[in-house]
Structure 1
Amino acid sequence: MTICAPTLLELQCAVSRDLLGFADGDTSEYVVPDGLAPQARLAIYRNTANSTLLTALRLTYPAVQALVGSEFFEGAARLFIEQHPPSSAQLDSYGAIFPNFLAQMPEAASLIYLPDTARLEWAVNEALHAPDAKPLDLRRLEQFDAADMHAVRFLPSPAARVLESSFPVDAIWHAVLSRDDNALANINLTADPVCLYIHRGPSGVEVIRMAVGQCRFTAALIAGRSLHDALVDVPDAEASVWLAHLLASACFVDISLSNEASSQTIGRQVT
């Protein structure tokens, strides 16, 4: 009986599954022992892969790690890696569902603010690593009359995010990362919910609190709703001032008058 050798792609996929701990990923028969058992050789690479993923999670979630301690964080992260191995080679994109994983961990149930703190850190991570995009040229708005403006749709910057939380996660995040124990001790977890605008500016990622109306307005625009629809629940005066702020912060990179942004898009430039 002739056994066909795997193709390079098949071998690479098998090694990948082996390193990530999948039961069907045994590639030891293709490893040259050379003084060390094949599984021992693979174990070295498996440990390296797991350590790399653990480091990636630590870099993305420094505040979470500080809140729970290094030992707890490592244990949670290793469980997460085991249950949710990466599907991409881009480590910056690994860990998106870690906040949901924390929310389901019985051991972290008492830290009710932890999942949302993690969600803030993920939003910051996304904004930080989003591709560069040229801000919308505000002179483009001059091409539309008053009637057109209500049908305008804005294309958001890849580095713009909106986050709502029942807890003051921005204050927790700032206090933890600045190691300000006094500020952390004075945080009131029963305070009003917070709405946050996260974006990358010239000096880095900024996290800004918004009023509820501003949050709904921003979320609607980022979701691609028309300016008319986004204004439904927001007073015109408040919306006008906040829209000016969003435009000044480079929240948008493009503008259109149609659902088919690809056919009526004006001046999009992403680098």
Structure 2
Amino acid sequence: MTALHDWQCQFAKWLLTGDTQLLNSQVITDRTERLGLYRNNVLTNITQSLHSIFPVLERLIGSSCFTSLCHRFIQQKPPQEPALNHYGEQLADFISLQAAFNEYPYLPDVAHLEWAAHIAFLLAKVKPVNTDLLASFEKKDLLDIHLSLAPSVQLVMSKFPILAIWQANQPAVVDPPTVLLMEQEEYLIVFRENEQFVIEPVTSSEWYFLQKISHTASLNQAYEYALLSSIDFDLAGSLQRYVRSGIISEVLPVVA
């Protein structure tokens, strides 16, 4: 590595941590104040990006607390690529490690939901599967096929009513309802539909079925796994709905 590259790496670390020892003697002391303005702009821009991704989280904990949280997160988990649209996935796990939020165990899951909605909105909807293709398979072969979920599909599970929390904290809600924070598992699918994202509650069997599909299980394997959650799982009805909505985007027959 060149001396210039080493210096650039040190400078980048200083921007995020504020550790003046990283500047060494290559920066004249009376210029650090000016560089501080630049550093503040960098932190502000990254924080603003996180604000646009996690507005409900910010509303729940307050702007000042959210800004402080973002600064700690940026310092400990800095961006690894220049595209800020892809930065923030680790924030939910970061929150779960902060003792200050121990009394609010639903916050990490709210952050997970907001990140899922962000990713679903970023990724374009793909062309739905041709239903004639599914109909062309013999029943014995149909169960052996592998399906792919659309890139925008995100699966979120929580022990708390995070969808109700998310809905109650939207800008258009003037008088938000009281949300009871009793523990009750909630299963959600988030996906892109036209020019917006959709958050849809599903049953546990539907959620586990899609989870297995996303982990490259065959249709039969995913079906058997869903039945462990509920013997009433409707395979035919679920397939029709997921294909129609574009949640399932590709059919891959098993090749012997």
| Shorter-chain TM band | 0.7 to 0.9
| Whole-angstrom CA distance in 2 between matches of 1:5 and 1:208 | 52
- Residue among 43, 60, 64 paired with 1:50: 43
Residue aligned with 2:112, SS = helix
Using the size of structure 1 for normalisation, the TM-score is 0.82
8 Å contact from structure 1 (residues 103, 115) kept in 2: yes
Question: 147-156 or 61-70, which moves further after superposition?
Answer: 147-156
| Whole-angstrom CA distance in 2 between matches of 1:94 and 1:109 | 24
Matches within 5 A, 1:60-79: 60-79=53-72
C-alpha change, 1:22 and 1:135, in structure 2 (3 Å) is: farther
| CA shift digits 1:16-36 (9 cap, x unpaired) | 23322375742772x6x7xx9
Matches within 5 A, 1:1-271: 6-7=3-4, 10=6, 12-21=8-17, 25-26=22-23, 29=26, 37-178=30-171, 180=173, 182-185=175-178, 187-190=179-182, 192-232=184-224, 233-234=226-227, 235=231, 238-258=234-254
Using the size of structure 2 for normalisation, the TM-score is 0.87
| Whole-angstrom CA distance in 2 between matches of 1:191 and 1:183 | 20
Residue aligned with 1:196, SS = strand
Question: 245-254 or 80-89, which moves further after superposition?
Answer: 245-254
| Whole-angstrom CA distance in 2 between matches of 1:122 and 1:211 | 21
Q: Which runs of 5+ in 1 are unaligned?
A: 259-263, 265-271
Q: Number of matched residues? A: 250
Residue aligned with 1:184, SS = coil
| Whole-angstrom CA distance in 2 between matches of 1:60 and 1:5 | 37
Q: Amino acid of the residue matched to residue 221 of structure 1?
A: I
Q: Which runs of 5+ in 2 are unaligned?
A: none
Once the two structures are TM-superposed, the CA of residue 11 in structure 1 deviates from its matched residue by 5.1
8 Å contact from structure 1 (residues 102, 115) kept in 2: yes
Once the two structures are TM-superposed, the CA of residue 40 in structure 1 deviates from its matched residue by 2.9
8 Å contact from structure 1 (residues 199, 251) kept in 2: yes
RMSD: 2.5
| Whole-angstrom CA distance in 2 between matches of 1:207 and 1:124 | 8
| CA shift digits 1:46-97 (9 cap, x unpaired) | 1111111111111111001001111111111111111111111110111111
C-alpha change, 1:209 and 1:132, in structure 2 (3 Å) is: closer
C-alpha change, 1:237 and 1:5, in structure 2 (3 Å) is: closer
Identity across matched positions, percent: 24
